Amino acid sequence: MANVKQPLLFRNKDVSTVNSSDGTFRSLEKSGRPNRQKEKVHGLKDRSQGLRKSLNDSLEEDIRDFLINEAELHTYDDLTKVNPVTPSTVLKCLQARYSAKVFYTHAGCTLVALNPFQPIPHLYSLDVMREYHTAPQPQEFKPHIFIVAEEAYRNVQGQVEPINQSLVVSGESGAGKTWTSRCLMKYYATVAASSQKCQDTVEKIERRVLDSNPVMEAFGNACTLRNSNSSRFGKYIQLQLNSSQLLVGASVQTYLLEKTRVAFQAPTERNFHIFYQMMKGATEKQRLEWMLPLEQDFAWLPHAEKPLEEDCLQETVEAMINLGIDEGKRTQVFRILAGLLQLGNVDFSPASEEAQPCELDGHSKGFLGKAADLLQVSLDELQSCLTVRTLRAGKQSVLKPCSQSECGVRRDCLAKVIYAQLFDWLVTFINNSMCADNSMWCNFIGLLDVYGFECFLLNNLEQLCINYANEKLQQHFVAHYLKAQQEEYVTEGLQWSFIRYQDNQGCLDLIEGSPSSIFSLLNEECRLNRASDATQFRVRLQKELLDNSSISWDKLSKEPHFTVAHYAGNVSYQIEGMMEKNKDPVPPEIISLLQKSQDSLLHSLFAEDDRESEGSRKHSKVVTVVSKFKNSLESLMKILHSTTPHYTRCIKPNPDCRPLTFKKEEVIVQLEACGIVETINISAAGFPIRIPYGSFLQRYGMIANTKLTAQINRADISFSHFFLSLMNTVLIIM
């Protein structure tokens, strides 16, 4: 029991709800709060005298009491020490800390990271990393993302089950998730570097791990309304450690790339960075090769004039070189991307004769020709696959010209499918380049950087999937944290009445459950293979999901929609287009065209796809977007459940990404959305202050009476009981 790895638990809860019979915790809890001991003792007396007061009055008084000490607010390193825990006290504390340029704060088991929107170099220097890494008790240092990193690392070193670790970084767009993940990767690449010590490992594996970032960001990030470097995909990176806990490799799993962005950008947004990098960074020779004259405008390259530090081709190319992507492959990648840009400038006009395919004007013909050239496909076949559909009836096939809008859809589909496959190829290449052989590593630390909860004016399938992922993570957080904590108390032999928590199972059942859920009904609709009707689908949802209280409908709305009560708030989803997005159909003519590409890379991207789709066609099963996403999320959850999780909640202090600007109304919404106040309450009701037994004994052992010490030495009593007796001794002395 007295294993140094097992922590001592310090409870931080209002005395009136403490379960212990001897009151030991009461005094302990009060002493845990900085400079407020006396006040709280008075507070206790006041409380017993003022039982007649209404609960609300006394809470308001407590809040006023707490907030009156403004000068002290920034000193609360852990929000569980805030008393009372309310949205306003928590908010004030965070605001005070932000004003004092303190960006990290513990919230029990979670780290809250406020985005400074300004480089703070001294906060992340190599020296600071080493300080946290070499400290005997890093948790005694100021809150920092490096504490989370170090704690996970020491857990692996300590080989405490579950040995593998997951660092879950969440927050809304622009809150700082990607930045935090990069910081964590740099930390491990520094403190767990293997290359110097072990020359025969893959050359500079740390370099490769770090170089995966600029490449994936170039291809997967874009400037959006909310963040100039927004990740348009989710990722889970496993840093692989050998038996000496040195970094020997890594692998990355990506989720739900927003491929629609290639062919459609919202009015104030941009395409993926890589296109702008090419446009701005190409040499004269490359410009000729990629057919990208400087003066040429591209429809799929809006806001190219915007200067962004992310528009740096050189950095991406260097990282690609370090990852082992040779010149030949790079040329192929860039030519394919350039081909997509040309495709975006192709417009279709209705045919002059009925029953004829749509026509292209001179300009469009020129762009299509360049696209065919760059993608190395036949121009005629490219034009035909964009404008004519092949209908099959048994062994017969009939050619049917597409309408003007259908041609546009097919052009966009071609671009999206190529980009998505190229991105997957890149991720596979990166994995092959940095993944260590299974025999070389035994444990991992996983970093999860997923898109935050999204609620726009118009929400569709993408938001439903993203918010579903957030529901899953929230469920994991709440269940894991509360379950693990409360089980620990029981193991320790402490009296504990189980705390109930807000369960989001109802919402998850609504989205993914069986037999009837939004996903199952969407899939069914897609498999029926009929023209989708939004109003009809809404009626179906209403009928089938009538009993679920997490779904509702605004009867006055003209647009077919449904509203889901997520843990972070209500989100209204439009149904129009949802079924089509779920099917995500790729016309077979497009696949067959790409399979015939003379470009070996493009050809290989679709050769495999062909085998898969043949297989799935035989089983006549439509693999929908939500099915794929649900499966990949389930695999992720399995990994998360098998690891020790650490949570970091990034908060965006203002919507305009302005340095050192704290907008209360912006922050409170995020605190509510991630349930942080609830988390603090749970932590505060439990035992948020944990000291390893060894350290505790070292510090306080001398005041224990000898009889007790003898008992613990003979293991006659559990360590928790020893601790309780010891605290009683302390109380007697006081």
Total site size for ligand ATP, rule CB under 6 A: 21
Residue 341 CA to residue 333 CA, distance in Å, equals: 13
Residue 168 Cβ, how far from ligand ATP at the closest point, in Å?
13
- Which residues, 340 to 399, sit near ligand ATP by CB under 6 A? none
Rounded to a whole number of angstroms, the minimum distance from the CB of residue 344 to ligand ATP is 24
- Residue 177 assigned as binding residue: yes
Whether residue 230 contacts residue 217, with contact meaning beta carbons closer than 8 Å, is answered with: no
Of 634 and 656, the one with the shorter C-beta distance to ligand ATP is 656
> Would you count residue 41 as binding ligand ATP (CB under 6 A)?
no
Q: In angstroms, give the least distance from the CB of 272 to ligand ATP.
A: 13
Pull the structure tokens for residue 543: 């009928």
Q: Which C-beta is closer to ligand ATP: that of 176 or that of 686?
A: 176
The answer to whether the peptide bond before residue 645 is cis (omega within 30 degrees of 0) is no
Shortest Å, Cβ 110 to ligand ATP:
16
Q: Does 277 bind ligand ATP (CB under 6 A)?
A: no
Residue with tokens 């496959």: 421
Whether 173 has a binding-site annotation, put simply, is yes
Binding flags for ligand ATP, 593-612, as an x/- string (CB under 6 A): --------------------
Cβ contacts of 77 within 8 Å, gap of 6 or more: 105, 106, 142, 143
Structure tokens at 336: 């394919």
* Nearest residue to 417 (alpha-carbon basis) of 364, 345, 340: 340
- Stretch in the footprint of ligand ATP (CB under 6 A) among 19-27, 167-175, 333-341, 596-604: 167-175
Q: Which stretch binds ligand ATP (CB under 6 A): 44-52, 53-61, 173-181, 293-301?
A: 173-181
- CB closer to ligand ATP, 310 vs 412: 310
Per-residue interface string for the shown chain with ligand ATP, residues 99-128, x marking contact by CB under 6 A? ----------------xxxxxx--------
Shortest Å, Cβ 651 to ligand ATP: 10
* Smallest separation, CB 482 to ligand ATP (Å): 26
Q: Which stretch binds ligand ATP (CB under 6 A): 172-180, 529-537, 622-630, 683-691?
A: 172-180
Rank residues 231 and 433 by Cβ distance to ligand ATP and give the closer one.
Answer: 231
- Asked whether 4 and 681 are in contact (CB, 8 A), the reply is no
* Nearest Cα to Cα of residue 237 among 220, 248, 226, 252: 252
Give ∠ CA 108-109-110 in degrees, rounded to 5.
Answer: 90
Question: Where does this chain touch ligand ATP (CB under 6 A) — which range of 226-234, 587-595, 698-706, 711-719?
Answer: 226-234
**Near ligand ATP by CB under 6 A, which window of 224-232, 279-287, 572-580, 624-632?**
224-232
CA distances from residue 250 to 133, 183, 445 in whole angstroms, order as listed: 21, 16, 9
Q: Is 131 left (phi over 0), alpha (psi -120 to 50) or beta?
A: alpha
Stretches 169-177, 343-351, 562-570, 680-688: which one binds ligand ATP (CB under 6 A)? 169-177
Closer of 469 and 689 to ligand ATP (Cβ): 469
Query: Which of 113, 36, 184 shows the shortest CA–CA distance to 676?
Result: 113
Nearer to ligand ATP, 166 or 532 (CB): 166
Annotate each residue in 621-650 with x if it binds ligand ATP (CB under 6 A) or - if it does not, as one string: -----------------------------x
Which are the contacts of 640, defined by CB distance < 8 A and separation ≥ 6?
Answer: 166, 168, 446, 448, 476
| Residue 725 counted as an annotated binding residue | no
Do the beta carbons of residue 134 and residue 126 sit within 8 Å?
no
Strand-pair category, 396-401 with 561-566: unpaired
- Cβ of residue 450: shortest distance to ligand ATP, in angstroms? 8
Question: Least distance from C-beta 57 to ligand ATP, angstroms?
Answer: 40
Q: At its nearest, how many Å lie between ligand ATP and the CB of residue 120? A: 5
Which positions are catalytic? 173-174, 178, 227, 230-231, 452, 454
Minimal distance, residue 82 CB to ligand ATP, in Å: 23
Q: Provide the Cα torsion 184, 186, 187, 188; round to 10°.
A: 90
Region binding ligand ATP by CB under 6 A among candidate stretches 177-185, 239-247, 504-512, 706-714: 177-185
Residue 293 preceded by cis peptide, ω within 30: no
Among 153, 179, 429, 722, binds ligand ATP (CB under 6 A): 179
- Per DSSP, the three-state class of 217 is helix
Comparing CB distances to ligand ATP, the nearer of 177 and 476 is: 177
Counting contacts by CB under 6 A, is residue 451 touching ligand ATP? Answer: yes
Q: How far is CA 396 from CA 355, 390, 393, 618, 628, in A?
A: 19, 10, 5, 18, 32
CA–CA distance, 484 with 647 (Å, rounded to integer): 14
Residues 6+ apart with CB under 8 A from 667: 91, 94, 95, 651, 653
Q: Decide whether 81 or 235 has the Cβ nearer to ligand ATP.
A: 235
Query: Smallest distance, Å, CB 563 to ligand ATP?
Result: 24
Query: Rounded to 10 degrees, what is the CA torsion of 541, 542, 546, 551?
Result: 80
Question: Measured from the CB atom, is 117 or 501 closer to ligand ATP?
Answer: 117
Q: Does 174 bind ligand ATP (CB under 6 A)?
A: yes
User: Shortest gap between Cβ of 101 and ligand ATP (angstroms)?
Assistant: 11
The Cα angle at residue 170 between residues 96 and 223, in degrees rounded to 5: 95
| CA–CA–CA angle 268, 273, 274 (5° rounding) | 145
Residue in 74, 177, 259, 583 binding ligand ATP, rule: CB under 6 A: 177
Kindly give the residue spans of alpha helices, DSSP state H, lying in 457-596: 461-491, 505-512, 518-527, 534-544, 578-583, 588-595
Q: Are 348 and 359 in contact (CB under 8 A)?
A: yes
* Interface region with ligand ATP, contact rule CB under 6 A, candidates 223-231, 284-292, 623-631, 671-679: 223-231
Annotated ligand binding at 174? The verdict is yes
Percentage helix, strand, coil for the chain under 3-state DSSP, each rounded to 5: 55, 10, 35
Q: What is d(CA 254, CA 220) in angstroms, rounded to the nearest whole number?
A: 10
d(CA 159, CA 443): 9
43 contacts ligand ATP (rule: CB under 6 A): no
**DSSP code at position 193:** B
362 is in an annotated binding site: no
Fill in the DSSP letter of residue 498.
P
In this chain, which of 175, 518, 526, 667 binds ligand ATP, going by CB under 6 A? 175
**Residue 176, interface with ligand ATP (CB under 6 A)?**
yes
Check the annotation: does 172 bind a ligand.
Answer: yes
User: H/E element holding 107?
Assistant: strand 104-107
The gap from C-alpha 93 to its chain's centroid, in whole angstroms, comes to 26
Confirm or reject binding of residue 173 to ligand ATP (CB under 6 A): yes
Max alpha carbon distance in the chain (Å)?
103
Pick between residue 146 and residue 562 the one whose CB is nearest to ligand ATP. Answer: 146
Looking at beta carbons only, is 99 or 713 nearer to ligand ATP?
99
269 near ligand ATP, rule: CB under 6 A: no
**Euclidean distance between CA atoms 245 and 159, whole angstroms:** 10
178 binds ligand ATP (CB under 6 A): yes
On whether 269 is known to bind a ligand per the annotation, the reply is: no
Would the annotation count 249 as a binding residue? no
C-alpha R_g of the chain: 29
Looking at the Cβ atoms of 118 and 432, the one nearer to ligand ATP is 118
Residues 6+ apart with CB under 8 A from 617: none
Site for ligand ATP in 227-256 (CB under 6 A): 227, 229-231
Which parts of this chain interact with ligand ATP (CB under 6 A)? Answer: 115-120, 171, 173-179, 227, 229-231, 451-452, 650
Q: Which residues are annotated as a binding site for ATP?
A: 171-178
Binding residues: 171-178
